[in-house]
Amino acid sequence: MNAPRPPKVAGIDSTVPAPPHTTAPLPGVPPAASPADAALPPGVLIQDRLASWVSDLTTLHELTERLIKTSSLDGALREVLGAGAALVGARRGMAVLEPADGLGPTSTIGLGLAHADLGTIETVPHGPGSHGRLLDGLPEAGPAAPGPSSAHLAPGPSPTRPAPGPSSVRPARVPEPIAIRDVRTEEGLDPRHREVAARLGYAASYALPLATEESGRLGAAVWFYDEPAEPDERRRHLIGLYGRFATEHLARLLQVERARVRVATIAEELLPSRLPRVPGVRLAVRHLTGPQGGGDWYDALPLPEGALGLAVGSVSGTGPSALAAMGRLRASLRAYAVMEGEDPVAVLSDLELLLRLTEPARSATALFAYAEPAQRRIVLAGAGHAPPLVVGDRRTEFVETSLSAPLGMLTCWEAPSVELSPAPGETVLLYTDGLLRRTGDATDRTFARLHAAAASVPEADRSDPGAVADHVLRTLLPEGLDPAVEGEDVVLLAARFE
């Protein structure tokens, strides 16, 4: 009678010895440590180990999928805090964005902590604090030093990649996470650290650097435990892998945010830094821009004999080229307005000729109004632009303007001018097409919504052109202008006549 054979588990013959060339377990993956595990058949151990790996990979996949859907730095930091709390088994946490290059932006995000709690934690000196030591202890990538690089990410394996840039720059060292198992008994802690921990009710912490060898330091995240504790080796390994991926995602968002800020700064510098003060009229403007920057612009120019030139326009395209074209077009219109501002048709005709000669592949819309506040008289002309809107106590109506093509679309542009006389207390709204298109509605419906928004301005706000503009924007775009969504800029210029 044959001796009984051990059963097969999951299709694996447990009696077959492992081949001598089998690789060792991955670093950071805990082996079977308990006597109970050692007594189990090898097939059961393999099955449990595989199930654990699959569970961990599934968890990391789900968390990273959620992270890559974030499109802002604050949103990404909040997602990192929530995911990290689940991985390390904590309930509260704090993330600090503080790039090592000092170019910003900087921010502090809390999980389960009020704003006052974050301020209390920040009173702990950087040196003794766990996240402060991470922020202070990681330099930027510097000149290469002789000898092998000591960059590492612990715990767990860290895939190596060639650092970008010239060979004279080496990756920055990434410090290890800092675990404080018990704030009360940990040696070397600042008394202020223990005092803050007692006040906020946490007994342990685990701090992770938000850094990679290539990106350098972006910040740090720290999670707080209510009782003395620290994550085991498996949790450290998982949070290390997740932290590396999160840092790379944050680095990409940081580049996008810095580019957006630079574009917005250039756009603001190309537009008037402040509106002029002209007797008989009060001005206000609202300018909202997308992440790539658009070609929408506005201007308010004092002219001789107490007159005022008002203009809004839009250049086709987005990005730096559209901003540059917008700056050239606005500067040219200013010159033409000074020379022949009393005739808006002549101003736009000269502008159209300049655009056609210098930038034949680009088109633009524009509206120029010559205003005499003392007489409450406006003469205006538009090139492919939406008509102005007059808002007052007795009427809310669009100005009747003739249809005309945008600048650069025809061999010779020409359109008649229109004259209107605002009553005392009425506000004239000039706006760009971005205000209409950002709503996502059809053109006729958008005009109807704009008219309804202007008509619903509260009586108490009608004396303030800025309040009128704000009300219209809130009504048409109740969620504001999402900076992560590409689209046209929005310009709204309000002129209230006394």
Average pLDDT over residues 59-75: 93
Say how far apart CA 161 and CA 125 lie, in whole Å: 35
Q: Quick one: tokens of 452?
A: 């309804």
pLDDT digit string, tens, across residues 149-175: 333 333 333 333 344 444 444 455 777
| Residues 410 and 357 placed together within one structural domain of the fold | yes
Residue 434 sits in which domain range? 272-497
In the listed set 262, 280, 312, which residue is the last one of a domain according to the structure?
Answer: 262
Say how far apart CA 201 and CA 273 lie, in whole Å: 49
In the listed set 262, 282, 297, which residue is the last one of a domain according to the structure?
Answer: 262
| Residues 287 and 374 placed together within one structural domain of the fold | yes
Partners of 109 in the beta sheet? 95
pTM score, whole prediction: 0.64
Question: Which residue in this structure is represented by tokens 């800092």?
Answer: 178
Kindly tell me if the per-residue pLDDT of 20 is higher than 90.
no
Size (the chain), residues = 498
Q: Evaluate whether residue 17 is within a structural domain.
A: no
pLDDT digit string, tens, across residues 311-356: 999 988 777 788 888 889 999 999 999 999 899 999 999 999 888 8
| Residues 116 and 257 placed together within one structural domain of the fold | yes
Q: Evaluate whether residue 148 is within a structural domain.
A: no
| Residues 258 and 276 placed together within one structural domain of the fold | no
Q: Any idea what the CATH number is for the domain that residue 314 is in?
A: 3.60.40.10
Given pLDDT bands bounded at 50, 70 and 90, which one contains residue 128? low
pLDDT digit string, tens, across residues 278-314: 999 999 999 887 666 678 899 999 999 999 999 999 9
Q: What is the CA radius of gyration of the chain?
A: 32
pLDDT digit string, tens, across residues 425-453: 999 999 998 888 888 888 889 999 999 99
Find out whether 326 and 390 touch, Cβ atoms under 8 Å: no
Q: How many domains does the chain have?
A: 2
CA torsion angle for 254, 260, 264, 267 (degrees, to 10)?
140
| Type of residue found at 288 | L
Say how far apart CA 50 and CA 70 lie, in whole Å: 31
State residue 487's pLDDT score.
62
Say how far apart CA 287 and CA 164 lie, in whole Å: 38
Nearest to 247 by CA among 79, 115, 85, 56: 79
| Residues 435 and 314 placed together within one structural domain of the fold | yes
Q: Evaluate whether residue 373 is within a structural domain.
A: yes
Nearest to 86 by CA among 115, 59, 57, 48: 59
Find out whether 383 and 405 touch, Cβ atoms under 8 Å: yes
Q: Evaluate whether residue 23 is within a structural domain.
A: no
Q: Quick one: tokens of 30?
A: 């805990």
| Residues 217 and 304 placed together within one structural domain of the fold | no
Q: Any idea what the CATH number is for the domain that residue 177 is in?
A: 3.30.450.40
Cis before residue 164, ω within 30 degrees of 0? no
Find out whether 475 and 453 touch, Cβ atoms under 8 Å: yes
pLDDT digit string, tens, across residues 41-54: 667 777 777 888 88
| Residues 250 and 119 placed together within one structural domain of the fold | yes
| Residues 253 and 277 placed together within one structural domain of the fold | no
Residue, of 242 and 168, whose pLDDT is higher: 242
Q: Quick one: tokens of 163?
A: 């650092």
| Residues 314 and 276 placed together within one structural domain of the fold | yes
| Type of residue found at 102 | G
| Residues 231 and 277 placed together within one structural domain of the fold | no
In the listed set 262, 286, 314, which residue is the last one of a domain according to the structure?
Answer: 262
Average pLDDT of the chain? 82
> How many Å from the N-terminal Cα to the C-terminal Cα in the chain?
112
